Amino acid sequence: MNNLGFDFEYIPITPIDQNQSQNTQYLRVLARYFYDDNFTIFDLVEEYHLELKRSEIEKFQNVLDQMKSIFPAKEGEIFDDLKFSEIIQSFSNYLEVIFSESDISQLKETLSNQRFSVAFIPSNNKYKIMTIFAAKGLEFDQVIGFGKDYNLTNRDTNNNHYVLITRAKEKVILIDNNYYKSQVDSVIAQNHREPNNFYRYYGNS
């Protein structure tokens, strides 16, 4: 696609996105601070909704910057798991949350592999392919998804559907095989409305 003039960028799913927990968003923000030099400690504090004095922010920054000194582990060196655990403990204390062993393991794997950095650093490429979770907090002029991925009666896929729909500033396109449309028609009918007044449908199937 790039050879045809489309500046596509693939955003890989990261280890911290694979098994989502209640702490996944905390870990994503931390990973962005780690990878994105333009994302400051003040941005991080704002994302976490922390109310800290400047002196406390500086201490928090010192804790997190220690993480940058141990990743990636230099060739031939043993990773400093003790130091990493101490940093995570301090981080947990600031946020007043408890990270599971799985959370910590996924964070370690994400920060250990530079190829995941693209998932946390904003780019100017016009076209991006990514998971719904990775798109949280972002906005795009147009969003394209697949209707088959969304069961509107299932809580998890319904939450992902909400994220998909609310990422678009101008237009959402759902590629469908009639599965998604039938669900939307049902919801609209339950509210005593006419489906054709709400969207345009293209195709014969």
Structure tokens at 159: 């939450």
Q: Are 57 and 41 in contact (CB under 8 A)?
A: yes
Please give the DSSP secondary-structure letter assigned to residue 142: E
Buried b (16+ CB within 10 A) or exposed e, 48-70: beeeeeeeebeebbebbeebeeb
Structural domain harbouring 64: 14-119
- Side chain identity, residue 146: F
Same domain, 46 and 100: yes
HEC-encoded secondary structure of 43-68: HHHHHCCCCCCHHHHHHHHHHHHHHH
Same domain, 156 and 112: no
Does 129 map to a domain?
no
Instruction: Give the integer Cα–Cα distance in Å for 147 and 128.
Output: 18
Same domain, 144 and 185: yes
Does 33 map to a domain?
yes
Does 203 map to a domain?
no
Q: Give the pTM.
A: 0.69
Does 100 map to a domain?
yes
Instruction: Give the integer Cα–Cα distance in Å for 191 and 30.
Output: 42
**pLDDT, one tens digit for every residue, the chain (205 residues):** 566 666 777 888 899 988 778 898 899 999 999 999 999 999 999 999 999 999 999 999 999 999 888 887 666 678 888 999 999 999 999 999 999 999 999 999 999 999 899 888 887 777 888 877 777 777 888 888 888 888 888 877 788 888 888 988 888 888 888 888 888 888 888 876 666 666 666 555 4
Final residue before a domain boundary, out of 91, 119, 147: 119
Does 161 map to a domain?
yes
* Phi and psi torsions of 40, nearest 5°: -85, 170
Same domain, 111 and 153: no
Does 131 map to a domain?
no
Q: Is residue 29 packed enough to be buried (19+ CB in 10 Å), middle (13-18) or exposed (0-12)?
A: buried
Local structure of 16: helix, strand or coil: helix
Does 35 map to a domain?
yes
